[in-house]
Amino acid sequence: MTEKVAKFRLKEYKINKANIEFNPSMPISEDISIELERKSMSNEDENLYRLEFGVKIADKEQNLQVYANLIGLFEFDSDIDDRTKSIFFNINAPAILFPYVRAYISTLTSLSGIRPIILPTINLANIEGKQD
C-alpha cells in the first residue's frame, strides 16, 4: 500500500508579534473573549503561499490583554486549482496554525506568573478577517 502525499504542506511557521499586558494588582476574570483574524495571504512564489493569522484575547474587565500574530508558509502541489487554494486558506490553513498559537499563548501566560490561558478548540470555518 502506497502512502498518499498531501497536496499541501506547512513548511514553517513563526510567531512574529506577541504581547501580554495585565495589571498584577487587579483580578483577571475567568470570562475571556477571543478574537481570531486571518490578516492576509500572499503568493511568495509559484507554489509557496504565506498566511498571516492573529489572535487577541482579553478578560471581561480588560485587566488582561494578550495578542499573538503568526505567519505560516505553505507549499502546494502545482495541480491544485484556485478554488481549492481559496478553501484551504479560508478554513484549513487557520485550523492548521491554530494549535501552534494556542500552545504559545498557554506558555506565554503561564510564564508570566498568571493562570495559564488555555484556548478552547474552535471551529475556524467562520473566521472574520480581511483577505488580501
Strands (E), 46-132: 48-59, 64-76
Confirm whether 48 is domain-assigned.
yes
Domain range for 56 is 8-119
Asked, for residue 127, whether it belongs to a domain, the answer is no
pLDDT for 64: 94
For 27-80, write each residue's pLDDT tens digit. Answer: 888 899 999 888 777 777 778 889 998 999 999 999 999 999 999 999 887 767
pLDDT band at 130 (very low <50, low <70, confident <90, very high): very low
DSSP character at residue 132: -
Share of the chain above pLDDT 70, in %: 88
pLDDT confidence of residue 44: 75
Rounded to whole angstroms, how far apart are CA atoms 57 and 20? 9
Range list of H helices, 1-132? 82-87, 93-111
Instruction: Confirm if 36 and 124 have CB atoms less than 8 A apart.
Output: yes
Is 3 inside any structural domain? no
**Is 75 within a domain?**
yes
pLDDT (0 to 100) of residue 15: 96
Q: pLDDT band for 107, please (50, 70, 90 cuts).
A: very high
Q: How many domains does the chain have?
A: 1
> Where do the H-state alpha helices sit in 9-116?
82-87, 93-111
Q: What is the CATH number of the domain that holds 112?
A: 3.10.420.10
Q: Is the pLDDT of residue 132 over 80?
A: no
**pLDDT band at 126; cut points 50, 70, 90:** low
In a domain, 100, yes or no: yes
Q: Is the residue at 129 inside a domain?
A: no
53 belongs to a structural domain: yes
Q: d(Cα 9, Cα 73) in Å, to the nearest integer?
A: 9
Set of cell numbers at residue 55: 489572535
Q: Which residue has the cell 488555555?
A: 118
